[in-house]
Amino acid sequence: MNFNQLFDRLKNLNAKTVAGPVFIVMLLAMMILPLPAIALDLLFTFNIALSILVLLIGLQTTKPLDFLAFPTVLLITTMLRLSLNVASTRLVLTEGHTGPSAAGKVIEAFGHFLIGGNYAVGIVVFIILTIINFTVVTKGAGRIAEVGARFTLDAMPGKQMAIDADLNSGLIGQEQARQRRTDIAQEAEFYGAMDGASKYVRGDAVAGILVIVVNIVGGLIVGMLQHDLSLATAAKNYTMLTIGDGLVAQIPSLVISVAAGIVISRVANHQDLGTQLTKQLFSNPKVLNITAIIMGGMGLIPGMPNVAFLLLAGILAAIAYSLKSKHQKEVAAEEQLKKDTPSENLEASWLDVIPVDALGLEVGFRLVPLVDMKQGGDLIKRIKALRKKFAQEVGFLTPAVHICDNLDLKPNGYSIKLKGVEVAQGESHIGQYLAINPGTVTQEIGGEITKDPAFGLPAVWVNHDQREDAQNNGYTVVDASTVVATHLNHIVGLYAAELLGHLEVQQLLSLLGKDSPKLVEDLVPKLLSVSVVQKVLQNLLSEGVPIRDMQTIMETLLEHSKQTQDPAELTAKVRIKLGRAITQKLFPNTNEMSVISLDTQLERILMQAVNTQSDSNAIEPGVAQTLAKEASAAAKKQEEMGFSPVLLVPSSLRLTLAKFLRRFSPNLRVLSHEELPDTKIIRVTNLIGEIA
């Protein structure tokens, strides 16, 4: 590499990129190269400013991960102080005989102004600061980091499972899941790094004590032997310089240690430390009044500093009075708003006819905070995310969920209604977590035994302090809001066909018309009415087939609508066209399909019955009973083997068996041979047997 190439590379370097290496090189240079007094003044001033900056950033963080660079900052600031100690020691020992300003104005100011020029006082102050830093602040911060690192690592598997559960239930997307996994990994790395980085500050405190002892002894030897100073003069000059040097380094060290303790002792919250402390300490007028009375009583005791106690009592009483007045004004404003609200008209009108909500959620009074965003409830936000995910996966947007409270429900109960009729109910407990047993639990945990309201899995309600234990034992742990949201999402999937109304179909046609206007124009309403299209789409949804591919669906309807207007026959044609998507959903990431099949004799009997009458009622009762029983058993066995419960039948039987078996085995999907792509390999793993 020639000089020009090297110059071009240096020219293209970003200033932020080279700042770190340059700073580290400068720190090392300070330990080796002698520095003038003016340079030490600038560097000591920079060290103080840097420590204050770090402290203020720590106060403004809302959670430890907001200051990920803190462990590195801790190391760099420690190295900066040690480098300054080395540089100042060199200057003190070489120039200390000239007077107290030998090592610069900053050290002189700390040696005279802060301790009044009394080196005995300076030694005591320095030792006290070092003890506070070493035994209290740094030790406590290190212990918090150590415990935080251990608990964070222990909880990682459970947190990962919770993320997977939220992702599978549709509460979060892939990008959010990826970000949450990254946050968990960063949290573990942060506490681990802080556990080690806190040792730097403790080592710095020990080094400060050793440096001051070495400087004093070395200064006395240099002053008396090399510069012929008396013991008193040498002790005064070198001790004052050493104490000033120690204080100017130890005070920023204490500030950085306080910042470390603040950052790692923060509990994750959306407020900075100042806002959080103000809100939690000075928001209760009753507590402030009691404190003011106690302080006022102490101020009336003879011999006490009456002015200080009474002044503080007055300030607290004033704050309490201000908070109480503000609360009374808010209450008065609410009452005035109620008075200004016009009274109800006793005369009945058409406005009294309230339309039925397509989808509703009613909650007991204890669950109201889940839907109240002012109280931190996130259920509404979760429901919005569920509707978005459902629209992306299924192909249409469900009606908005109408949420209200219902005092007739249990306090912790909720009810899901479809067009005004209750279709599901359950219970959820705010402040507790539902630990669901997915079948892989290593050790059971104590709590209120129940069942997952969405899927009926065995579960138990646990307290917050049992959450990590439950996750470590293999439970899937979700909070109260997730329980309700997951149940609602399950119900929306079950009743998707009923939620697809005339308005939603019109919206789908309008959306498709933007890309394929001629296709929509030629089909609706020339060949098919919107009602027929709606019925075809509902037929698909009732059997769990997404309608995202509206282009293919409409093209198939256009192709066959001249031969038939029957929604059932049109649905069968559409299913054949969507065969690849149907099988891909049931058998993802595999080219082999493990299915259930009918015995030849049973298939022949069913074919004869269907040819006579295309209705499930055409099946003879004894055959129907045996078919339902064996189909449910085969579906359960298929699931236990890890396969999707799919029954493969001739096309003439598919619709009849799908309608009949839906009530006995909702998870069983019935496919016809025509719906299977040619590339799939069929393997029969279960057989519905002969009829006696």
pLDDT confidence band for 489 (50 / 70 / 90): very high
Strand partners, 164: none
Q: Is 50 exceeded by the pLDDT of residue 316?
A: yes
The alpha helices in 170-230, defined as continuous H runs, are 174-221
588-692 classified as CATH 3.40.640.10: no
**Is the C-alpha dihedral spanning 210, 211, 212, 215 positive or negative?**
positive
pLDDT tens for each residue of 19-41: 667 777 777 777 777 777 788 77
Tell me 400's DSSP state.
P
pLDDT tens for each residue of 554-584: 999 999 998 999 999 999 999 999 999 999 9
- Identify the pLDDT of residue 276: 59
pLDDT confidence band for 362 (50 / 70 / 90): very high
Lowest mean pLDDT among 276-280, 311-315, 627-631: 276-280
DSSP assignments along 508-542, one per residue: HHHHHHHH-HHHHHHHTTTTS-HHHHHHHHHHHHH
- Identify the pLDDT of residue 692: 42
Q: How far is the C-alpha of 248 from the C-alpha of 45, rounded, in Å?
A: 9
Q: Region of 395 please: left (phi>0), alpha (psi -120 to 50) or beta.
A: left
Q: Give the Cα-Cα-Cα angle 561, 565, 566 (nearest 5 degrees).
A: 125
- Identify the pLDDT of residue 12: 55
E strands, 543-589, where? none
Q: Is 90 exceeded by the pLDDT of residue 60?
A: no
C-beta neighbour count of 275 within 10 angstroms = 13
User: Which of 164, 174, 180 has the alpha carbon at shortest distance from 65?
Assistant: 180
Residue of higher predicted confidence among 48 and 637? 637
Fold of 500-577: Helicase, Ruva Protein; domain 3 (1.10.8)
Q: Region of 315 please: left (phi>0), alpha (psi -120 to 50) or beta.
A: alpha
Q: How far is the C-alpha of 112 from the C-alpha of 103, rounded, in Å?
A: 13
Would the pTM count as exceeding 0.75? no
Alpha-carbon distances of 374 from 130, 268, 368, 369, 371, rounded to whole Å? 46, 19, 11, 8, 9
pLDDT tens for each residue of 162-212: 777 777 666 677 777 788 888 777 777 777 777 666 677 667 767 777 777
Query: How much is the average pLDDT of 591-595?
Result: 91
pLDDT tens for each residue of 342-353: 555 556 777 777
Q: For residue 409, give every residue at least 6 positions away whose Cβ sits within 8 Å of its Cβ, in sequence order, or none.
A: 362, 363, 364, 415
b/e per residue, 371-402, with b = 16+ CB within 10 A?
beeeeebbbbebbebbbebbeeebbbbbbebe
- Identify the pLDDT of residue 16: 58
pLDDT confidence band for 664 (50 / 70 / 90): confident
517 contacts 390 by C-beta, under 8 angstroms: no
**What element of type H or E holds 436?**
strand 433-436
Q: Is 90 exceeded by the pLDDT of residue 223?
A: no
Fold of 359-497: Glutaredoxin (3.40.30)
Q: For residue 184, give every residue at least 6 positions away whose Cβ sits within 8 Å of its Cβ, in sequence order, or none.
A: 152, 156, 159, 160, 163
- Identify the pLDDT of residue 201: 67
Q: Is 90 exceeded by the pLDDT of residue 549?
A: yes
Q: How far is the C-alpha of 434 from the C-alpha of 423, rounded, in Å?
A: 22
Q: Is 90 exceeded by the pLDDT of residue 551?
A: yes
pLDDT tens for each residue of 407-440: 889 999 999 999 989 999 999 999 899 999 988 8
Q: Find where tokens 């609706």 sit.
A: 524
pLDDT confidence band for 539 (50 / 70 / 90): very high
Lowest mean pLDDT among 366-375, 506-515, 609-618: 609-618
Residue of higher predicted confidence among 581 and 617? 581
Q: Which two tokens stand for residue 241?
A: 């310089």
Q: How far is the C-alpha of 505 from the C-alpha of 485, rounded, in Å?
A: 26
Q: For residue 268, give every residue at least 6 positions away whose Cβ sits within 8 Å of its Cβ, in sequence order, or none.
A: 62, 63, 64
